Amino acid sequence: MKKVSIQDIAKSLQVSKSTVSLVLNGRGDEKRIRKETQQKILDFAKEQNYSPNHLARGLSRGKSETIGLIVPNISDNFYARIAKRIETKAIHHGYNVVFGSADEDPKREAQLIDIMLNRQIDGLIIASTQQNQKEIKQLKNKEFPFVLIDRHYPDIETTYVIVENSNGIKTTVNHLLKKGRRNIGFVTLESGLEAMEQRLKGYKTAMLEAGVEVNPNWIQKLDYQDYAVQMEPAIQSLTSEQDEVDAIIFATHYLTLSGIRELRKANISIPKQVAVASFDGLDGFDLIDPPVTAISQPVDQMGDTAVELLLKKLDNHTDELIQMELPLDFVIRKSCGE
Amino acid sequence: MKKVSIQDIAKSLQVSKSTVSLVLNGRGDEKRIRKETQQKILDFAKEQNYSPNHLARGLSRGKSETIGLIVPNISDNFYARIAKRIETKAIHHGYNVVFGSADEDPKREAQLIDIMLNRQIDGLIIASTQQNQKEIKQLKNKEFPFVLIDRHYPDIETTYVIVENSNGIKTTVNHLLKKGRRNIGFVTLESGLEAMEQRLKGYKTAMLEAGVEVNPNWIQKLDYQDYAVQMEPAIQSLTSEQDEVDAIIFATHYLTLSGIRELRKANISIPKQVAVASFDGLDGFDLIDPPVTAISQPVDQMGDTAVELLLKKLDNHTDELIQMELPLDFVIRKSCGE
DNA sequence: TTGAAAGCGGTACCAA
DNA sequence: TTGGTACCGCTTTCAA
């Protein structure tokens, strides 16, 4: 049961490859191929269930109707949701998506970019580890169409879609202040990610504006690879007598889960002793005891926008740079007090 | 900044395409190409940062060192975790992974299979919607290397990796019985998925073996697309006076979340009035009030095994069919009582 | 209205 | 030790 090629069809039907190709690409009428010839080809193709070899087509056309998506970690709910949305949207516009998960590893990410380019994808959407300056710059220099999502490089002018990280945290801090909390801790990642920097900045700014002096110990930075282990001492420090916070903001959903676990272990009641808020939510946050107040990200909008911006580049061959910073929702639950 | 091809290198260096190709593929020594020629080529390639066009190579070799992965829904935590594991494992063996999310839509899935084949992937791992008998049979007839994961077609003999669905639920039922619950409800999907059938079967068998007569109303089947809405009446029915269950097993993690939500709305205390157990867990189940007892799936093992089986097929060109049914873990928390 | 042929970027076989 | 060349499957231009 070998695959039939355009050759095979041409031979069987005693017509030329080109004719077959044209008809099968719906350009029969345009090229005034006789109706019956067209029909004959179409029928035969269906009967043999012909389907084109994309490699060959891509090679020949120099494009592949495929966009690549690179995320840091596909098993992170946030990126999984984005990936799904992007795929749906892209399909809808006739593009296919191949994606790769970089495992938060810059090398792997660079490798993925390389692989995808070699596969002649037409464009790229990247949620970057943000440690591949060189590669991103190369993409830009080559004028290869790409858009960054969720994470961008502050030092490189590119098209990107991110969220208002700083504002999101500010809102949260203000909410906590309104609830009477002053000693607000902030648990984030030691990562160099601009998004994390912005969240931290939001925290500092809001505290400053409120006239609360931030005790440096209130800010805890954990390693991505090891946060679950480092969470325990972090929580201990935050809740120790000298630093005693009455609220903690976690910079990601998984930090939040981990943090709550440690707070419980330490028998610290939420929100009575320590209020908790999370950047980014998770299905089930409403069921945790207590339900967790969270900044919710506009995942669908991010995905849609990224695809739209990329398609615009592909269609118009424009290299106009567009930066979008989407607003965040704030979902108030009980973890910050009534 | 155009991409350099093997042609370009050959021309610049006054050697032939074949020589360049051989050297660049590390077969220079084998073919006894002079060291200095090799060096020359290698250097030049590096300098121009040559990288091969995978489309061309794939077209020529008839294979692409890529495996395809199709899941029903990449935003489902379970499949996201599998996807990640599969990718990591595949990379490690020199294969790349392209994946697609079928959105639980059989048509989309068939389309994805088609697209992937057209792209000359070497093999396929599918967590199927289980509604594409024809396509799967075709793959089998073509002797195209593929392995099914998580969901298989009971009527088609294929290689697959699934879990002991029935046993998993049996364990759960027995656990509940031991806790003194007898009126155990079962909330699942109206899906025709073999996995769901097996879970249901496990439930029925365990109840039968325990001598508990199952009230048909205890079994609630919801539509995948609409489960959140249908959960309310389902819970109402299960907890109504005439059917009154004292425990509910949910057949997926999202059904569990949704179910707990409705139980709370109805002011039914867990586990006092109704115990709850879940097939498949979710990060955060330990933090829910009360922490949810769950059957936990061996995700990593599933992913690894699937890749191994596929690679075996690819390497040995064997079409031996292997069926693996992996055992499940049972994580006891408080939602089934102390 | 259709066909022939070149070319996309590689691979691999056969000669030299 | 290297080069020439056919071929992978499809697109596209130019002629017929």
Least confident of A153-157, A246-250, B133-137, B238-242: B238-242
Of B1, B75, B260, the CB nearest to A84: B75
Mean pLDDT in residue range B211-236: 96
Predicted pLDDT of residue B96:
85
Which nucleotide's C1' atom has the smallest distance to the CA of A19? Answer: C2
- Report all structural domains of chain A as residue ranges with CATH numbers, in order of start: 6-52 (1.10.260.40), 64-163+300-326 (3.40.50.2300), 165-297 (3.40.50.2300)
Mean pLDDT in residue range A206-215: 96
Would you call A287 an interface residue with chain B, using a CB distance cutoff of 8 Å? yes
Of A141, A257, A286, the CB nearest to B1: A141
Of B53, B87, B261, the CB nearest to A287: B261
Q: Do A100 and B96 touch (CB under 8 A)?
A: yes
Predicted pLDDT of residue B51:
87
Would you call A269 an interface residue with chain B, using a CB distance cutoff of 8 Å? no
Q: Do B287 and A257 touch (CB under 8 A)?
A: yes
Per-residue pLDDT tens digits for B304-336: 999 999 999 998 877 799 999 999 999 999 999
Q: Do B260 and A287 touch (CB under 8 A)?
A: yes
Q: What percent of chain B lies above the pLDDT cut of 90?
A: 71
| Dihedral sign, Cα of residue B31, residue B32, residue B34, residue B38 | positive
Does residue A167 have a pLDDT over 90?
A: yes
Name every chain A residue with its beta carbon within 8 A of the beta carbon of B142: 1
Residue A186: CB partners within 8 Å, gap ≥ 6?
A: A200, A203, A218, A219, A220, A248, A249, A251
Predicted pLDDT of residue A2:
62
Mean pLDDT in residue range A102-118: 90
User: If residue B138 lies in a helix (H) or strand (E), which one and from where to where?
Assistant: helix B133-141
Which nucleotide's C1' atom has the smallest distance to the CA of B5? Answer: C9
Give the mutation candidate from A57, A64, A81, A87 for the B interface (greatest B CB count, under 10 A): A87
Predicted pLDDT of residue B315:
85
Predicted pLDDT of residue A267:
96
Does residue B261 have a pLDDT over 60?
A: yes
- Say how far residue A119 (Cα) sits from the centre of its chain: 21
Short-list A44, A2, A1, CA closest to A20: A44
Per-residue pLDDT tens digits for B3-31: 789 989 998 888 988 899 999 988 888 88
- Which protein residue's Cα is closest to nucleotide C12 at C1'? B18
∠ CA B244-B250-B251, rounded to 5°: 140
Short-list A265, A273, A36, CA closest to B287: A265
More reliable by pLDDT, A64 or B273:
B273
Q: What percent of chain A lies above the pLDDT cut of 70?
A: 99
Q: Kindly report the nearest CA distance between residue A59 and chain B, in angstroms.
A: 6
Inter-residue contact B129 to B101 (CB < 8 Å): no
Does residue A3 have a pLDDT over 70?
A: yes
CB atoms under 10 Å from CB of B73, counted, come to 19
- DSSP reduced 3-state for A331: strand
Per-residue pLDDT tens digits for B51-93: 888 889 988 888 888 899 999 999 999 999 999 999 999 988 8
Residue identified by tokens 């801090």 is A173
Residue B86 φ/ψ region, left for φ over 0, alpha for ψ in the -120 to 50 degree band, beta for the rest: alpha
Q: Do B80 and A74 touch (CB under 8 A)?
A: yes
Q: What's chain A's average pLDDT?
A: 93
Per-residue pLDDT tens digits for B151-206: 999 999 999 999 999 999 999 999 999 999 999 999 999 988 999 999 999 999 99
